[in-house]
Amino acid sequence: MSDQCVFCEIVGGTAPASFVYQDDTVVAFMDIQPITKGHMLVMPREHAVLMTDSNETVAMRTFRVARRLATVARHTLGASGINIIVMDGEAAYQDVPHFHVHVIPRYPGDGFGLTFPDTYENKPARAQLDAIATALSNAASPAPTA
Ligand SMILES: [Zn+2]
C-alpha cells in the first residue's frame, strides 16, 4: 500500500468504487469517468507504479482478469469490440501511478478514437525496421518460467 494512492485507497476500502471483480491478487472496478459504457479498470491489489514493477505472476493474473472481463462486457453489455489499454508511464498518459489495465467496451459510433502522429504516414525503410528489430531482439531474452 502506498500513501496518497487513490487506487490503494479503493483496494483498502477507504475510498468508494463500484467493484466488478475481486480475488486475492486482482481487483476490477468501474472507471468513474468512463470513455464508453462499461469502462473498467483492472489492477493488482499490491501497489506498483509501472507494469514491470509488478512481478510477472501478478501482472499476468491482471491481464487474465482483463481478458475475462472483456468477454463478459461483450456478452453482458453487447459491446461489439474491446480495447485493452495500459498507460504505462507519464509519457503514455498514465494518470494514476498504480499499474492498471483499461478494459474499454466498444460500440459502433461511440466516438472514441486514437490519434496518430504526422510521422505515421511516412513508412520507415525496411533497413530502419530491421535495425530496430535487431536491437530489440538482442535485448530480449526468453521469459523465465514463473
Ligand atoms: Zn497504489
How far does the centroid of ligand 1 lie from the alpha carbon of residue 44, in Å?
9
pLDDT tens-digit map of 96-140: 999 999 999 999 999 999 899 999 999 999 999 999 999 999 999
Q: Which of the residues are catalytic?
A: 100
At residue 132, the pLDDT reads 96
pTM of the model: 0.91
Q: In the chain, at which residue ranges do the beta strands (DSSP E only) sit?
A: 19-22, 26-30, 40-44, 81-85, 101-106
How far does the centroid of ligand 1 lie from the alpha carbon of residue 127, in Å?
42
pLDDT tens-digit map of 31-62: 999 999 999 999 999 999 999 999 999 999 99
Q: Percent of the chain beyond pLDDT 90?
A: 92
Put the strands of the sheet holding 81-85 in their side by side order.
19-22, 26-30, 40-44, 101-106, 81-85
Q: Which CATH superfamily is domain 6-112 in?
A: HIT-like (3.30.428.10)
Cα gap 40→20, rounded to integer Å: 8
How far does the centroid of ligand 1 lie from the alpha carbon of residue 128, in Å?
39
Domain boundary assignment for the chain: 6-112
At residue 108, the pLDDT reads 97
At residue 57, the pLDDT reads 97
How far does the centroid of ligand 1 lie from the alpha carbon of residue 32, in Å?
17
At residue 1, the pLDDT reads 57
Eight-class DSSP state of 118: G
